[in-house]
Amino acid sequence: MTDDALQHSWTRIRAELRQAVNEVVWRGWLEGLQARELVGDTLVVEADDRVRSWVADRYGRLLQACAAAVLGPDVAVELVTPGAHPASDASAHGRHGMHGRGRFARSAPASAPAANPRLTFDQFVIGDANRLAHAAALAVAELPGLAYNPLFICGAPGLGKTHLLHSISHYVRAYGDGMTVRYTTAESFTNHFLGAIHSGGGEAFKREYRSVDVLLVDDVQFLEAKAKTEEEFFHTFNAVHEAGAQLVLTSDRPPRDLQAMEDRLRARFEAGLVTELGPPDHATRLTILRKRVQQDGLLDVDAEALELIAAHVDQNIRALEGALIRVVAFASLTGRAVTGELAAEVLAGLYPDLKPARARTVEEIQERTCEAFGVTLADLRSSSRTASVAWARQVAMYLSRELTDATLPAIGRAFGRNHTTVLHACRRTAERIAADRAAFDAVQRLSRELGG
């Protein structure tokens, strides 16, 4: 993978991570991670030595899931400190690598990618918004090349397109009497093709993609404006289709909206069945959460918490599961039970309607902060920079922003400061509670007392 392609993929992985965690976790632990290289199927990610171990223990599984969503299910993620040799390099040279810590998932050979074992038809939750797409995918899995060929599944990110592709792969491998299946993404296809050109492996590349019984290609919108790759994919599509093999393609939009793609390729995409996935309804979202809880073996997750998440996170399934991950991670970090109250607390920053009905005022927050930290209101509003007063002032500004509807300038005026000082205080508080457990506990306790 080229440096530009790696950085593009890493930007998408960061976006997935950013969506799945709260501001404190993001800024304190994950924002500084950097992708170094992709070694085979292993993504090497650099983390500062002071956070690497914590990130590996607490967020390794989340990082792996986000990387898999972008780079495919076979990717492994390895966390290293800047300048350190990754275990993938060590193993390639016959040396012993890391013993599990900081590395997530086992990579598979590029020539035989494995489907994600979690993404099966049994685990796919059917609702009104995805019923047709699910039925079509199952029909294709049962009768490859005979039901709908090609099958084109479109929809916004996070609605289950990749899940259906992997479900087809599992089904055909289990019940297809030896039929061969290949799953790939448009980005992987492009990288494989360019590598074959440079290495003189063009014929081997063609055999790998054209000699299968079922070809599954995710995110074909990434083929747009890539002339050479589009040309190769066009011939691959024709060869597979003419051989009577099954093609299933996914995209974030219908073929007619892939305006930068060649007309002849769009016409072939539309030649079979085009079906669209929509956002899940409330009942479907709740069932998805219950299945995820059962699948992950999460204990003591209160039904009220799941109801709350399902009611307020309705964009897509990825956001829904990301919200659950955030709530469970927060509960683990603070040693609290996963209740409706905790879910409301965690999601309040994203969904303003979850904030307490009785809004606090900046003055109330100032008074309670003074009591909690043993300073006076005059101290809080003064120019004093002593450590105890400065910390109390920063916390009060942080909570004023979190628990009131006051603007930054209004908060600043209440403290005799300007809005940039408030922003600085909020950032410093977020950084400190991310790194200091005692500070985190103190701020959380005060927040709960204020009803936040």
298-318 pLDDT tens trace: 777 888 889 888 888 887 888
Flag whether pLDDT at 385 surpasses 70: yes
Annotated domain spans of the chain:
3-104, 131-276, 282-354, 362-449
Give 94's pLDDT tier (boundaries 50, 70, 90): very low
Share of the chain above pLDDT 90, in %: 31
pLDDT value, residue 358: 46
Which class does domain 282-354 fall in?
mainly alpha
pLDDT value, residue 19: 75
- When comparing pLDDT for 34 and 40, which is higher? 34
The mean per-residue pLDDT over the stretch 93-115 comes to 40
Flag whether pLDDT at 297 surpasses 50: yes
Q: Place domain 3-104 in its CATH homologous superfamily.
A: DnaA, N-terminal domain (3.30.300.180)
When the pLDDT of each residue in the chain is averaged and rounded to a whole number, the result is 83
Share of the chain residues as helix, strand and coil, in percent rounded to the nearest 5: 60, 10, 35
Flag whether pLDDT at 361 surpasses 50: yes
Give 395's pLDDT tier (boundaries 50, 70, 90): very high
Give, in degrees to the nearest 5, the angle at Cα 270 between 227 and 284: 110
In CATH, the architecture of 362-449 is Orthogonal Bundle (1.10)
> Structure tokens of 428?
């410093």
> What single string gives the DSSP state of each residue in 229-293?
HHHHHHHHHHHHHHTT-EEEEEESS-GGG-TTS-HHHHHHHTTSEEEE-----HHHHHHHHHHHH
Flag whether pLDDT at 222 surpasses 60: yes
- When comparing pLDDT for 289 and 312, which is higher? 289
pLDDT value, residue 270: 92
Which residue in the block uniquely carries the two structure tokens 């003419």? 242
Q: Is 75 exposed, middle or buried (0-12, 13-18, 19+ CB in 10 A)?
A: buried
Flag whether pLDDT at 426 surpasses 60: yes
Q: Give the range among 89-103, 267-281, 387-401 with minimum mean pLDDT.
A: 89-103
Closest by alpha carbon to 23, among 334, 316, 350, 341? Answer: 350
Flag whether pLDDT at 249 surpasses 70: yes
In CATH, the architecture of 131-276 is 3-Layer(aba) Sandwich (3.40)
d(CA 108, CA 253): 30
Helix runs in 273-386, H state only? 282-296, 303-312, 317-334, 340-347, 362-373, 377-381
pTM attached to this predicted model? 0.55
| Residue 357 near residue 451 (C-beta atoms within 8 A) | no
Flag whether pLDDT at 356 surpasses 60: no
Contacts of 1 (CB under 8 A, 6+ apart): 9, 38, 191
Cα 324–chain centre separation = 12
Contacts of 398 (CB under 8 A, 6+ apart): 425, 426, 429, 430, 443
pLDDT value, residue 336: 82
317-335 pLDDT tens trace: 888 888 888 888 777 777 7
Helix runs in 143-216, H state only? 161-175, 186-199, 202-210
| Residue 416 near residue 397 (C-beta atoms within 8 A) | no
Closest by alpha carbon to 268, among 205, 222, 207, 220? Answer: 220
Closest by alpha carbon to 252, among 231, 272, 222? Answer: 222
Give 33's pLDDT tier (boundaries 50, 70, 90): very high
Flag whether pLDDT at 447 surpasses 90: no
pLDDT value, residue 274: 95
The mean per-residue pLDDT over the stretch 106-132 comes to 70
